[in-house]
Amino acid sequence: MGWRIGVIGGDGIGPEVVEQGLRVLRHLDARERLGLEEVPFDLGAERYLRTGDTLPDADFERLRDEVDAIYLGALGDPRVPSNVHAKDILLGLRFRLDLYVNFRPITLLDARRCPLKDKGPADVDMVVFRENTEGLYTGVGGQFKRGTPDEVAIEAELNTRKGVERIIRAAFDHAEERGAPSVCMADKANAMRHGHDLWQRVFREVAAEHPSIRAFHLYVDVLAMEMVRAPERFDVVVTNNLFGDIVTDLGAQLQGGIGLAASANLHPGQGPGLYEPVHGSAPDLVGKGTANPLAALLTAGWMLEHHGRADLNQEIHDAVRGCLLADEVTPELGGTLGTTEVTDRVIARLG
C-alpha cells in the first residue's frame, strides 16, 4: 500500500516509547511489505526552548499534506511550566486538522490488571468517541478585571449542530461496522440546558436512523458511576470533549492503567490521523530505559487498523496480551523488564 508516518517523539519518554512502536511497525513492514516510510518532525519542548517555535505553519503544512498518519509520543516538560508548546502542538493539530473524533478504546486484556472485583475482559470492552474540536476546549471566553477582587473568567462551551452531529454519526457508524449492539450518549442536559439539549435532539435523530443499534442516554455523572459498577453495559460511548477526557482516564484504569491506553484523533475520510498513547511524558522516567511501551505499541496497532490492517492490530493486541499474562512488563506494571526488552517480547510473539 505504501504510506508515510510523520513521527513526533515529543518530550520526556515520548521519543523512547515511539521508537519502540516504530520497531514493531518496521518488523511488520519487513514481514508484510507495507511500504512504510518514517518522516521525523522536530516538535516539542527542546525546539521550543531553542527557537520559540511550537507548531510553525511550515511543519503544520507538511504534516497536513505530506504524511498519511502522525505518530506522537508525549508532550510536557518541566522546563516549560506554561505547557504552551504542548497546547499548540497537540490541540493545534486536533483543531487545525479538524480531527473531530478522539477514538479511545477501553479494552481489558488481562483480568488481573482490572481494579474492579469480578470483572474480566468480556466486561471491559468498549470504545469512547470523544468530540475533539469544540466543547470547552476552544478557548472561547475571556477574563475581565483580572487580578482584582471583582474578576470574572468565562469559559464558553461551544456546541455546533455540525460538530455534535458528526461525532454522534461517527459513533453509530463505528457501531454498525463493528456489529456493536449499543451506543450510549452522555451529557449533562439536566444542568446545561442549551448545548446539551442540542446533543439530546441530535442523538435521538441519528439513533432513529440506526434501528438495529440500542441507543441509550446517561448523564455523565451516572456514566462515571456505571462504568465502575457495570462496565459490561457499554459498547460504544459518545460524549463531548471534556467529559470524554475525564471518562477515558477512568476507563484507562479499568483496562489496567494509563500505560495501556491507546488513542487516535481522526477525521474519517480526510487527511492524516494523529495517533498517541494517552499517557503523558513522565519526565521522572526519562533515560532510565524503564518506560512502559505498551500503550504506544497498541496505538501503532490502531494506526494499522485504520489503514486497512485490522488483522495486524489484532496480532499486536494478542502479543501485548501475551506479555501481560506472562508478566513480561516494565516495573510500573509489576515486572522487571526494560522498555526495549518488553518490545522484544512483543515482537517475538508476532513471529
Give the integer Cα–Cα distance in Å for 90 and 250: 21
Task: Tell me which residue of 231, 220, 223 sits closest to 116, measured CA to CA.
Answer: 231
- Between 278 and 296, name the residue whose CB sits nearer to ligand IPM: 278
Give the integer Cα–Cα distance in Å for 183 and 173: 10
Q: Is residue 249 annotated as a catalytic residue, yes or no?
A: yes
Considering only residues 235 through 254, tell me which ones interact with Mn ion, judged by CB under 5 A: 245
**Taking CB under 5 A as the rule, does residue 187 contact Mn ion?**
no
Q: How far is CA 279 from the centre of its chain?
A: 9
**Taking CB under 5 A as the rule, does residue 328 contact Mn ion?**
no
**Taking CB under 6 A as the rule, does residue 157 contact ligand IPM?**
no
**Taking CB under 6 A as the rule, does residue 134 contact ligand IPM?**
no
Residue number with the smallest Cβ distance to ligand IPM = 245
Where does residue 10 fall: left (phi above 0), alpha (psi -120 to 50 degrees), or beta otherwise?
left
Q: Is residue 123 annotated as a catalytic residue, yes or no?
A: no
- Helix/strand/coil for 14: helix
| CB of 75 vs ligand IPM, minimal distance in Å | 7
Q: Is residue 42 annotated as a catalytic residue, yes or no?
A: no
- Between 281 and 343, name the residue whose CB sits nearer to Mn ion: 281
Strands 236-239 and 69-74: unpaired
Enter the C-alpha cell of residue 343. Answer: 518490545
User: Per the residue annotation, which of 42, 98, 197, 249 is the catalytic one?
Assistant: 249
Enter the C-alpha cell of residue 173. Answer: 457508524
11 binds, among ligand IPM, Mn ion, none (CB under 5 to 8 A by kind): none
**Between 82 and 111, how does the x/- string for binding to ligand IPM read (CB under 6 A)?**
--------x---------------------
**Taking CB under 5 A as the rule, does residue 59 contact Mn ion?**
no
Give the integer Cα–Cα distance in Å for 111 and 316: 18
| CB of 278 vs ligand IPM, minimal distance in Å | 6
**Between 226 and 245, how does the x/- string for binding to ligand IPM read (CB under 6 A)?**
-------------------x
- H/E stretch holding 20 reads helix 14-32
| CB of 27 vs Mn ion, minimal distance in Å | 30
Torsion of CA 285, 288, 291, 296, to 10 degrees: 110
User: Per the residue annotation, which of 48, 71, 100, 137 is the catalytic one?
Assistant: 137
| CB of 107 vs ligand IPM, minimal distance in Å | 17
What is the widest separation between alpha-carbon atoms in the chain? 65
- Between 77 and 110, name the residue whose CB sits nearer to ligand IPM: 77
**Taking CB under 5 A as the rule, does residue 131 contact Mn ion?**
no
Exposure of 11 in the CB half-sphere (CA atoms within 13 A): 25
Name beta bridge partners: 184. 216, 237
Considering only residues 274 through 293, tell me which ones interact with ligand IPM, judged by CB under 6 A: 278
67 binds, among Mn ion, ligand IPM, none (CB under 5 to 8 A by kind): none
C-alpha distance from residue 138 to each of 87, 180, 259 (Å): 11, 31, 28
Contacts with ligand IPM by CB under 6 A lie at 90, 245, 278
Q: Which residues are catalytic?
A: 137, 188, 221, 245, 249
